[in-house]
Amino acid sequence: MSTPKDLFGGGVAVITGAGAGIGAGLARYAARELGMTVVLADVDAAAIAALRAELERHGARALDVVCDVRDPDAVERLAATAFRDAGPVRLLVNNAGVEQFGYLWDTPVANWERLVSINISGVFHGIKAFLPRMMAEPGRSWVWNLSSIGGVSAAPLQAPYIMSKHAVLALTECLRQEVELAGHGHHVHVQAVLPGAVASNIFESAGAVEDGDVAAAEDHRAAMLRIKAQAMDPIDAARVFFDQAAADEFYLLSQPFVADTMAERADTLTRRRAPRLPQGEFTVPAS
């Protein structure tokens, strides 16, 4: 069986949302462990500049490109820059995403629209800009779209985020079929990434509610931050994702309990049960 180094080593990876969390973990692992050139894309110019400098100190090659994935023209420029300045892209990671807490009816319209434009449209813009270029290259390449354990579950007080991750998962499943239908399945590999609890700053930066039950939204944020204390290191998660990708898995899972959640979701659908409220405090199952 091929190793991640066999498949990805020496190639170019483009990672959106690379300034922190899972994106930064993937960049560090890809650059330092696999010898990939990494193109770091984020709206936080300072964060990706600092990460580029860090990687270069370790002898890796990195480029930082400020990019707002909500803007299709900006993502098109990102693709053009990556192929021109780094070379053919072997791995595209559509990772950029944001959270939102609070009752759905309390969610500000602007927050809803921002989340949808980043979490869903941002993935589409990445596919639109990069996939035709990747399909035109004869070598093998990979597209990873970041869904979540939330993409195979339901949870109160996070409805916009959960909805967006269900959408990304469905988009990725359809994209896998379309790439095969178009005759590119032998060299372009589409995979869905479903992290469980992986350390990031997504909960701190999550959108809030301004009216309605503000306390409920902030209590839920606090519960998620308690989960963060038990979360997996992003570099450890990156190692798992690359290992599963090299094994040609479609669903790339950070921890075993994500598979348990998938099984529970399948049972809920099979039995046509209404979704049940989580019991007690939110906790991370043992991996």
Helix axes 109-119 and 121-136, enclosed angle (nearest 10):
20
Q: What is the Cα–Cα distance from 24 to 39, expressed in whole angstroms?
A: 11
Q: How far is CA 65 from the centre of its chain?
A: 18
Backbone angles phi, psi at 28, to 5 degrees: -65, -45
What CA–CA distance (Å, rounded) separates 168 from 153? 13
Distance, CA of 68 to CA of 87 (rounded, Å): 22
Rounded to whole angstroms, how far apart are CA atoms 16 and 65? 9
Residue 210's φ and ψ, nearest 5 degrees, are: -100, -25
Cβ proximity of 131 and 142 under 8 Å: no
161 has catalytic annotation: yes
Label the pairing between strands 141-146 and 89-94. parallel
The catalytically annotated residue of 29, 103, 161, 251 is: 161
Residues annotated as catalytic are 161
